[in-house]
Structure 1
Amino acid sequence: MGAVIGFGASLLWPTEYAGRASVLYLITDQQPTGFLDEDQNLITQAALAQSNAVLGPVATRNGLTTTELAQKLTVTVPFGSEILNFEVHDPSQELAVRLADSVSRQYLAVSESPKPSSDQIRYLQGQLTAAQNQIQQLRVDGSAAALAQLPSAADRAGSLGSQLDTLMLSQVAQPQAQIVVPAYPGGAVSPHPVLGTIIGAASGLVIALAAVTILARRRPGRSPEP
């Protein structure tokens, strides 16, 4: 009975279709990051792809709320890959594909952070040169007062050098995202008659076992024979 009910109920569910797209978030070999850092980075990108910054504009253009679009969308990262898979479910196959395309493209627009300007790099290089010249002058002076200033001057030079290295690295090794699989129709994804039948059968079995247990407990015991 449960299997029959589950099968019949699954046929009443509205048909939904999938729209899919894939984005490659390329982490270059020059970036000093380990496997765990890469994994965390990709998880962060998946969260960004489902944020209001990405979903808000797409939802507005398609007459949806951000919550409604978020319920239709899933973003997954296959283990060991640098791929973000976008999948949107909707009763309209055309809309599902359009939403998958719009979300993946909006993600690219949001994820492309500007690289540091050459003015920032030149400024830090000038400051680092000035700090190195100051250290050289203090050493040439050699007085007690000059030598007392050396540690702070060396710390400043080290800090400037670290900032400059970070900016240079981000310029040559910034991750790049690109669409590798444009949005395409994924076909019907629901209903699932087989799954509905299995769930119905399992539910019927649980109810039957519970009923048998209750009846067994309520059954009066036999009185002992004389």
Structure 2
Amino acid sequence: MTADGKTAGFMALPGGEEDRREVFARSLADVLRLLGIEVAAEPEPEPGPGPEPADGLTWERRARAALRKVWRDGVVLSEEAFDALVKAAVHDPNPSFNRQFVEPALNAFGHRRVQAALLAYLRTGTDPERAGAARAWYWSALTLEMPRVRAEHPAPADEGTKVLKEWREAALREFVRNEHVDVRRCILPLLRLRKSSYPAELHDLVDEAVATARSHPDEYIRHRVEHQVGD
């Protein structure tokens, strides 16, 4: 799915190069706490010969399974839960599983608010957060299909059209400005590389983005830009 909600034929968003597992685990724990979900920690391994200690992923898998059940059963989300869900989506190192946080936030709080929060991470976050915001943005145009996930204080329905325009321009500027390879990898699939998608004052920046991607040392970026320019 593209940023405007259309299905994309090529969307291999890479995972983050930094190990964000620890910060994600804290974010995931915050979401569980706010929802009143308890997922027991892994027991300490017995000393002596035997299987290798668990790598921590077992707890994460059980936590994700518990969240899926909550979304299916229905829940009323507090204001505090909004920030926790967006933070978990941004820090989730898995570019497919982060949907588990974006989708309920969209259903409870609306497209505009979720997209505005991701835009703020893109503009002011750390480089790993900027990359994570781009990965989470991929899901931010989903249709609302969780009617039982609601906000404690619902806002009027919205489409987030203004935020979408701001995201496109901010992402273009960030791609050109920021040399962090993971940021560029994650932003590039979301970029429109036609000048007609931007105001006249950004047309030169589109050319610069294409040139930067074509000459980039990273193979994924070089391959991806040719796919997009060729569309």
> Do they fold alike, i.e. is TM over 0.5?
no
Please tell me the TM-score bracket, short chain as reference. under 0.3
- Indicate the structure (1 or 2) with the bigger Cα radius of gyration: 1
TM-score normalised by length of structure 1 = 0.24
Higher relative contact order (CA 8 A, sep 6+): 1
